[in-house]
Structure 1
Amino acid sequence: MFDKEFWEKKYANSEAQWNAGSITTPIQQYIDQLTKKDLAILVPGIGHGHELMYLYENDFTNISGLDFTIVGALEAYGLMNNFPYGDVILEDFFEHEGQYDLIIEQTFFCSLPINKRSDYVEKMHDLLKPGGKLVGVLFDCYFNQETPPFGGNKEEYLELFKEKFNIQVLETAHNSIKPRAGRELFFIINKQHD
Structure 2
Amino acid sequence: MQLDENYWASRYIEGKTQWDTGAITTPLKAYFEQLSDKSVSILIPGCGNAYEAEYLHQAGYKNVFLVDVSDIPLQNFARRCPDFPEEHLLHKDFFNIERTFDLIIEQTFFCALLPSQRGAYALKCAELLKDGGHLVGVLFNDELFQDHPPYGGYKEDYVRFFEPYFDFKVFDKCYNSISPRAGRELFINLIKKQF
Scaled by the length of structure 1, the TM-score of the pair is 0.97
Q: What's the counterpart of residue 57 of structure 2?
A: 56
Mapped pair 1:80 → 2:73: no
Query: Which stretch of the first structure deviates more once superposed, 156-165 or 178-187?
Result: 156-165
Q: What's the counterpart of residue 96 of structure 2?
A: 95
Residues of 1 paired with 2:103 and 2:67: CA distance?
Answer: 14
Residues of 2 paired with 1:78 and 1:129: CA distance?
Answer: 31
Residues of 1 paired with 2:173 and 2:20: CA distance?
Answer: 20
Q: What's the counterpart of residue 47 of structure 2?
A: 46
Residues of 2 paired with 1:68 and 1:159: CA distance?
Answer: 26
What secondary structure does 2:79 align onto?
A: helix
Correspondence 1:13-162 to 2 at 5 A: 13-162=14-163
Q: What is the identity, as a one-letter code, of the residue corresponding to 2:53?
A: L
Mapped pair 1:184 → 2:185: yes
Give the 4+ runs in structure 1 shifted more than 3 A: none
Q: Percent identity?
A: 40
Asked whether the 8 Å contact 1:40–1:102 carries over to 2, the reply is yes
Q: CA RMSD in A?
A: 0.9
Unaligned runs of 5+ residues in structure 2 are none
Asked whether the 8 Å contact 2:146–2:152 carries over to 1, the reply is no
What secondary structure does 2:164 align onto?
A: coil
Displacement of 1:4? 0.7
Residues of 2 paired with 1:56 and 1:144: CA distance?
Answer: 33
Residues of 2 paired with 1:31 and 1:53: CA distance?
Answer: 12
Asked whether the 8 Å contact 1:44–1:105 carries over to 2, the reply is yes
Residues of 2 paired with 1:40 and 1:107: CA distance?
Answer: 20
Query: Which stretch of the first structure deviates more once superposed, 80-89 or 2-11?
Result: 80-89
Query: Which stretch of the first structure deviates more once superposed, 134-143 or 66-75?
Result: 66-75
Asked whether the 8 Å contact 1:49–1:79 carries over to 2, the reply is no
Q: Residue deviations 1:120-145, cap 9 Å, x none?
A: 01100100000000000000001135
What secondary structure does 1:81 align onto?
A: coil
